[in-house]
Amino acid sequence: MFFSRKAEPVTQKVAVILAKYFSLDVEDTVPWCAFSQPENEDAGVTVTLPFCIATQLGALKQEVLKQLEGTLGDDQLTFKQNVASGETEVAPVTNIKNIIAVASGKGGVGKSTTSINLAFALMQEGAKVGILDADIYGPSIPIMLGNPNAHPESEDNKHMQPLMAHGLVANSIGYLVPQEDAAVWRGPMASRALKQLLDETLWPVLDYLIVDMPPGTGDIQLTMAQQVPLTASVVVTTPQDLALADAQKGISMFEKVNVPVLGLIENMSYYQCRACGTKDYVFSKGGGEALAERHGLPLLGQLPLDIHIREHGDAGTPLLISTPESTLSESYREAARAVSMQLAFNVAPRKGATKHIKGNPIGIVGKN
């Protein structure tokens, strides 16, 4: 007597292909895959990715269809993206799924430039993104967004509407304090101001809020790490030994306060001559890679020393908006995809994740 073996569901086949593609276990990718219509398997398969890689979805879809060898047609395979709210030790901020701190142990490594371009790159990968300028003493995000003279509006003198620039929502102490005035505040006062800036802004629903941290590991950084629901952090460094020593302090600080470090971004990795294509490693070579390996962290990206980064930052014309097809823009998108995937793979989804997602604010809730 012969027994026929039940055919493997096509959802399982898709999960196996995705597991190989992303170097994961099949158990990780099975939950992504479901029949588009549970009552009609012929309707096809929908894959819901827990991270954002919008610019790669076309190529990914074609690779899956190719390996399925005609099992599904082009219109029978759908890809979606749905970023979960990550677990944190502190209660979440309304409408914000994940807060990612972009930090450095010292100034001058291009942290703010990396923050703003990473935010736009995540947006181009299909995420809903905002940015908070936490550099109380040297806010630079308003200049990079091209709206340094803008001010957030308030309907009740208690809550602020974030500013919008090129599709990115933002808030910064730079929108509240005149450019020519220095924020001469002691650490606790500056920390309180930053907490208010986060909590009293009426954020729309965001997959990621990128926080441009001030350099160092002092009061403000500790306040952010201990009182703000940071989902994870990214540490920016340059390749030379002095920057790496300070970056290591930043990694240690986040580890001590139980904030996951998603990885390192090495800025100013090299200068590439536009005439001959030769790469010069102005600030040494391989430092970021060595530091990442020492701490068991991924190197999320290596970004060049390029005049276009400085020009677009000073002019308030975002690089990824002005020249989205450039090699430089793709470098930031590659880093953004790595950040999104690392968070999805390494941070557990929040229990009761939807409770703090209230929907995009129309006005002030509870206004008297």
Helix (H) or strand (E) holding 237: strand 232-237
At CA 126, angle to CA 299 and CA 95, rounded to 5? 95
Which is nearest to 73 in space by CA: 81, 64, 82? 64
Residue 125, C-beta contacts closer than 8 angstroms, at least 6 positions apart: 52, 53, 54, 55, 333, 336, 337, 340
Q: How far apart are CA 308 and CA 331, in angstroms?
A: 13
pLDDT at res. 141: 92
At CA 134, angle to CA 130 and CA 136, rounded to 5? 145
pLDDT at res. 269: 76
Q: Dihedral of the CA atoms 228, 111, 259, 30 (nearest 10)? A: 110
CA Rg, the chain, in Å?
22
Q: What are 154's two structure tokens?
A: 């308030």
Query: Collapsing DSSP states into helix, strand and coil, what is residue 59?
Result: helix
* CA distance to 17, 143, 171, 196, 209, per residue, from 168 (Å): 34, 14, 10, 20, 10
Q: What pTM value is reported for the model?
A: 0.92
Under 8 Å between Cβ of 230 and 103: no
pLDDT at res. 287: 75
User: Integer distance in angstroms from the first to the last C-alpha of the chain?
Assistant: 79
pLDDT at res. 343: 98
Query: Collapsing DSSP states into helix, strand and coil, what is residue 300?
Result: strand
Under 8 Å between Cβ of 182 and 77: no
* CA distance to 108, 139, 212, 303, per residue, from 312 (Å): 17, 17, 18, 15
Under 8 Å between Cβ of 364 and 76: no
Q: How far apart are CA 170 and CA 134, in angstroms?
A: 11
Q: How far apart are CA 42 and CA 48, in angstroms?
A: 18
What residue type is assigned to position 300 of the chain? Answer: L
Helix (H) or strand (E) holding 249: helix 241-256
**Mean pLDDT of each 10-residue bin along the chain, 368 residues long:** 58 96 96 91 92 97 94 94 94 95 80 94 98 85 92 88 94 81 64 85 96 78 82 89 78 89 88 70 72 90 85 88 93 97 95 86 49
DSSP state of 41: G
Under 8 Å between Cβ of 219 and 110: no
What residue type is assigned to position 14 of the chain? Answer: V
Which is nearest to 299 in space by CA: 329, 269, 250, 266? 266
Q: How far apart are CA 86 and CA 101, in angstroms?
A: 14
